[in-house]
Amino acid sequence: MKQDIAEKKYRIGFTAGVFDLLHIGHLNLLERCKSMCSYLIVGVCDDDYVRNVKHKEPVYPLMDRVRLLNALKCVDEVVVINTAETEDKMLCIKELKFDVLFSGDDWKGTPRYLKTEEQFAEFGAKIEYFPYTQGISTTQIKERTKSETK
């Protein structure tokens, strides 16, 4: 049974990531985000961000990652975000007008996110922090695949 919009804590939610090698941890995150908002926007980091900031080569090209996320019923909209937007969420909130940013709890209490929380308060927006799914990550999948092909 679909949850009534009035029961949701937030109207518009936003989360962002690379979402390369889509896995159960990504799905857990996105479903949890959607359970808290009526409309979920997912930002996908562009290939330049992956290469220049994460210093990794994406397994799947950007538009394949966008297409996979668009196919999920828990995702209402997918947007491509660049390095500046990934590093400064104020650029995203001004354009997308969301009420809540969903983020991994490893960012909680960091100077960057404490500043973002203050900035978001001026927009009436919040940050919800979620723990990562234990035992699964894109890096782990890549490493396991490498070791199994040797």
Residues classed as catalytic: 54, 56
Reported in sequence order, the residue ranges of the chain that DSSP labels E, i.e. its strands, are 10-17, 37-45, 77-81, 100-104, 126-130
* Contact partners, residue 107, CB within 8 Å, separation at least 6: 113, 129
- State how far the Cα of 47 lies from the Cα of 76, in Å rounded to an integer: 22
Provide the greatest CA pair distance for the chain: 53
Amino acid at 42: V
* CB distance 67 to 5 below 8 Å: no
* CB distance 121 to 127 below 8 Å: no
